[in-house]
């Protein structure tokens, strides 16, 4: 999907440097995309409680005839479900913030309170692994 998005924009703007990115949450080999409604958002977060899951962000860079693609992976463990998390998740889901996020949460929002540990790039979890993107852009531009 990321590559297709970047390709479409690049076709319309052939002289531009185009970066496309998509993020998904994976729990036990199941992809958790954006929830359809509040119930699904609540269910997704409930499933993540007390478990390790992975956030994968696929990135596609297009510049002239050059292209680079990569996937960044981060591992997150949420705290176990308890009454406090129940209240916080209900309020978060009711606020509508979960609606447009893979896995129904944004770590940069209230959901950061549910995180017990992280391995990998925090910015990847937010949605764009900026450090790796910076390295790859620098390498790509040096070849021009």
Q: Which of 57, 34, 49, 52 is nearest to 103 (CA)?
A: 34
Number of domains the chain is built from: 1
Q: Which helix (H) or strand (E) holds 92?
A: helix 83-95
Instruction: Kindly give the pairing relationship between strand 18-27 and strand 52-63.
Output: antiparallel
Which has the closest alpha carbon to 41: 76, 93, 114?
Answer: 93
Q: What is the model's pLDDT at position 4? A: 78
121 is catalytic: no
Contact yes or no for 66/83 (Cβ under 8 A) = no
Q: Does residue 119 form part of some domain?
A: yes
CATH assignment at residue 17: 3.90.950.10
Q: How close are the terminal C-alpha atoms of the chain, in Å?
A: 26
Is 144 inside any structural domain? no
| Residue 143 lies inside a defined structural domain of this protein | no
d(CA 81, CA 68): 40
- pLDDT of 91-125, one tens digit each? 999 999 999 999 999 999 999 999 999 999 999 99
Q: What is the pTM of this model?
A: 0.89
Domain region containing 57 = 2-137
Catalytic residue among 15, 22, 37, 121: 22
């Amino acid at each position: 999907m990321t590559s297709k998005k970047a390709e479409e924009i690049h076709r319309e703007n052939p002289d531009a440097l185009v970066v496309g990115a998509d993020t998904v949450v994976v729990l036990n080999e199941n992809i958790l995309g954006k929830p359809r409604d509040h119930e699904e958002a609540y269910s997704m977060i409930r499933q993540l409680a007390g478990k390790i899951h992975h956030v994968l962000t696929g990135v596609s860079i297009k510049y002239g005839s050059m292209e680079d693609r990569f996937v960044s992976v981060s591992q997150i463990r949420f705290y176990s479900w308890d009454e406090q998390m129940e209240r916080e998740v209900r309020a978060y889901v009711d606020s509508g913030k979960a609606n447009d996020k893979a896995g129904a949460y944004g770590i940069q929002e209230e959901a950061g309170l549910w995180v017990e540990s992280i391995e990998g790039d925090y910015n990847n979890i937010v949605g764009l692994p900026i450090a790796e993107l910076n390295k790859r852009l620098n390498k790509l531009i040096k070849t021009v």
